[in-house]
Amino acid sequence: MRAGRKAAVALALVACAASCKPAAPSAWARGGAYLEIPRARWVYGNLLVELDWDGKVRIGGEHALSLDRAGRVFTPGGAPIAILLPTGQVVGTDDDPLGTVGAATAARAGEHAAWLQVFDTGEVARFRADGRALPFGVWIGCAELRSRQACTLVTHIIALGHREAAPDAPPVSIGIGVGAGMWH
């Protein structure tokens, strides 16, 4: 291949990469809902999720995502994943709806019933379509209602990522494959 043709192909690839990159949610610059971020841990089987005051979320000890006090969720490199709006709606890249998150419950996009709940005891329940609650681990450090929404948002985002990656997998495997690839 000639040098000129190689350069043209490389330039086309760079242009495609720039234009194919998902757009940040439209509310990204101004921010979304105010979050009180606690230092907390979610334990579910052998899955350990740690949330620190600076918004870093570690899964199995590895920095997997971050959130800020303006409701933004992003990769360790700063790329947008989602934003929690003041209305409770969670919006992903390209303004894709990801559901709603309240102080202690979360619903998937297009659904009105909660699929997750973080109780004041820290216990987390995941609800089946028939309404039956299934244990989904426990948060330690999310007892206060004002900080529970951050824990609920983290649970929702991680569980949605797992559901997209392996919708039929048993819930105990949630930590497997949750990483940089889950956001693409």
Instruction: Determine contact, residues 49/58, Cβ cutoff 8 Å.
Output: yes
DSSP assignment, residue 85?
-
Give percent helix, percent strand, percent coil of the chain, each to the nearest 5: 25, 30, 45
DSSP assignment, residue 132?
-
DSSP assignment, residue 180?
G
- CA 64 to chain CA mean position, Å: 10
Of all helices (H) and strands (E), which one includes residue 102?
none
- Report pLDDT for 107: 97
- Report pLDDT for 162: 60
One-letter amino acid of 136: F
Tens-place pLDDT, residues 64-100: 999 999 999 999 999 999 999 999 999 999 999 999 9
pTM, full prediction: 0.79
Phi-psi region of 67 (alpha: psi -120 to 50; beta: other; left: phi over 0): beta
- Report pLDDT for 97: 97
Instruction: Determine contact, residues 174/47, Cβ cutoff 8 Å.
Output: yes
Q: What is the pLDDT along the chain (184 residues), one digit of tens a residue?
A: 444 443 333 334 333 434 467 899 999 999 999 999 999 999 999 999 999 999 999 999 999 999 999 999 999 999 999 999 999 999 999 999 999 999 999 999 999 999 999 999 999 999 998 999 999 999 999 999 889 999 999 999 999 986 444 344 444 333 333 333 333 2
- Report pLDDT for 7: 36
Other C-beta atoms closer than 10 Å to the C-beta of 179 total 16
- Report pLDDT for 22: 87
